[in-house]
Amino acid sequence: MSKASPVQDETAEALTSRISLIQGEVAAAAARVSSPELAALSGELSGARRVFVAGAGRSGLVLRMAAMRLMHLGLTVHVVGDTTTPAIGADDLLLVASGSGTTSGVVRAGETAVEAGARVAVFTANPGSPLGMLAHTLVVLPAPQKTDHGSGTSQQYSGSLFEQVLFLAAESVFQVLWEKTQVPAEELWTRHANLE
């Protein structure tokens, strides 16, 4: 086994330090997410006829993961923009995420949902944003927006903390909803994709 070079040692130390930094930032931000706001979102999801999810970029990817988990619970879930996504209507819920709350496509989806009589649940760092104003249920994630490069709130790049806390918040809601069902994991697994 060859000995690590000084460059490899420096890289390993830097990686360990960055993992600690990210863990600390995520833990601090997640601790500030409002449990009552998450509980309200859980209620919205439980009461919806169908759930639609929409987000751009990495936030959209996180919501796609959340959509899969909600499908595992047996909810009818659609990802906005997929070719088989139907029209949204009354008794449906649109779940969206945007750190800035100004992402144009996500705001338009929220406006369309409201016009169609659906409810809108929003994850954002900016509750006073156009998207925040559309929300029937709002979960504020205390993280800098991706264009906030100089605030010192996070040392991570461009919205990473928002997306990380979004993932944890969505997973916590799934976990609570799942525990309420008392359905074993093996039963949820029967809904997992088998055409992979």
- Enumerate the active-site residues: 163
Fold classification of 7-189 is Rossmann fold (3.40.50)
Give, for all 196 residues of the chain, the pLDDT tens digit.
567 777 777 888 889 988 999 898 999 999 999 999 999 999 999 999 999 999 999 999 999 999 999 999 999 999 999 999 999 999 999 999 999 999 999 999 999 999 999 999 999 999 999 999 999 999 999 987 666 655 567 767 667 899 999 999 999 999 999 999 999 999 999 999 999 7
Gap between the Cα atoms of 172 and 170, Å rounded: 5
Beta strands 137-140; 93-97: pairing state: unpaired
183 vs 141, 180, 186, 187, 188, CA distance in Å?
Answer: 29, 8, 8, 7, 7
If DSSP codes are grouped into helix, strand and coil, which group holds residue 56?
coil
Q: What is the identity of the amino acid at 11?
A: T
**Measured between alpha carbons, how far is 196 from 193 in angstroms, rounded to an integer?**
6
pTM: 0.91
